[in-house]
Amino acid sequence: MMRVSPTRSKVLSFAPHLALWACLIAQAPARAESPASEETGLKIALEARGRGEGFGNFTASQVMVLRNKQGRESRRQLRLKVLEVEGDGNKSLFVFDEPRDVKETALLIHGHRESADEQWLYLPALKRVKRISSANRSGSFMGSEFAYEDMGSQEVERFSYRYLRDEPCGDLTCTVSERVPVDERSGYRRQLVWRDQDELRVWKVEYYDRKDAHLKTLTFGSYEKHLDRYWYAGEMTMVNHLTGKSTVLSWTDFQFRTDFDERDFTQTGLRRVR
């Protein structure tokens, strides 16, 4: 893969008082969009998606731990169902079981490749299904540091890509790519994604807000392979650098290719989730 780096040899030929100006000029091509870096970034994203296709469906249990800046915690228990949709984004259903004040609250997501996800939130106390509008996707999901936008499908077509570099990440070597949301209503200006070269697992994502400030960092760990092919992280930690808050999602009890009731993935189905 091509590594994007500034050409420093030219800088040395300039007079000292012009060194800073020359450095900036030399670095400009590295920051500009390069067809080669764009092609490499897109290739990595497409290959990663291809490796994750074909699972059919799965269920899992989650524990969500919310921590404030002082370290105080609150804990929630929820279930997840994911249904693979060939040629489009997947359908996902999150259902809260504990504590009592959020029990039976459910989030339904219909992911799409070419258009924005559709999302609905069921509020049992009101017996009401609320549609999450695209304008509100940057809002917090159930008080966590995950936005509704983060919970949706991260389809390849919804971003433009630019490969930046390779670098060590722990005992592995990762590719670092920048992806920019196509949707102008996204809460993010750009994201940086670290994937290991061998398995293309995501280990870290940095999120930059619309003013290009580093807003959040998501890290992944405790990966396990399922069905001898699919890697899924057992833990995801989202840290908000502006508030000092964090949210940890722990995943257990993965079960693949189960007997699903596809009616659960409808707005009507949300009302009978238990």
Averaged pLDDT for residues 214-243: 97
| 177, 41 contact by CB (below 8 A) | yes
Average pLDDT value for the chain: 88
Averaged pLDDT for residues 167-172: 94
Does residue 28 surpass a pLDDT of 80?
no
Averaged pLDDT for residues 172-193: 96
pLDDT digits (tens, 9 = 90+) for 190-203: 999 999 999 999 99
Q: What pLDDT was estimated at residue 82? A: 96
3-state helix, strand, coil in the chain (%, to 5): 20, 45, 35
pLDDT digits (tens, 9 = 90+) for 79-93: 999 999 998 999 999
Rounded CA-CA distance 176/185 in Å is 25
Looking only at the bridges linking them, the beta strands covering 73-83 and 91-98 are antiparallel
Q: What pLDDT was estimated at residue 31? A: 46
Contacts 24+ apart (CB under 8 A), 123-129: 127/271, 129/267, 129/270, 129/271
Structure confidence at residue 33 as a pLDDT band (50, 70, 90): low
Does residue 34 surpass a pLDDT of 90?
no
Does residue 5 surpass a pLDDT of 50?
no
Averaged pLDDT for residues 135-145: 92
**Identity at 233, one-letter amino acid code:** A
Rounded CA-CA distance 244/257 in Å is 39
Share of the chain above pLDDT 70, in %: 87
| 196, 174 contact by CB (below 8 A) | yes
Q: Give the single-character DSSP code of 271.
A: T
Task: Rank 14-18, 62-66, 132-136, 182-186 by mean pLDDT and report only the highest.
Answer: 62-66
Lookup: tokens for 190: 């750009």
